[in-house]
Amino acid sequence: MKKYDFVRVTEAVDEEMKDFVGAEGMIIQVDEHEYTKYPIEVCLFDKKLQAIIVDEGNLHFKESELEIIRRDE
């Protein structure tokens, strides 16, 4: 996965992230450091969920929690 890919949240390991499953967005940052547990920052299209991400301090995702989607589906 890379910056600007469109993605859907498919799963959430942490309980507080369960509300994000099914949400779609665009990757805006990928942390390349190998020690980073949650390297992918996503800007979600759902304004309410995106506001939660910002309020919580820019929550990030693991690659295993996301799938790439096409905009022409």
Those residues with Cβ within 8 angstroms of residue 66's Cβ, 6 or more apart along the chain or in another chain: 1, 7, 8, 9, 10, 27, 40, 42
Q: What local confidence, expressed as pLDDT, does residue 73 receive?
A: 47
CB burial class (10 A; 0-12, 13-18, 19+) of residue 27? Answer: buried
pLDDT mean over 52-59: 84
- What is the residue-averaged pLDDT of the chain? 88
Q: What percent of the chain is modeled with pLDDT above 70?
A: 95
CA distance 60 to 38: 5
Task: Give this prediction's pTM.
Answer: 0.85
Q: What local confidence, expressed as pLDDT, does residue 51 receive?
A: 93
Q: What local confidence, expressed as pLDDT, does residue 71 receive?
A: 55
CA distance 53 to 69: 21
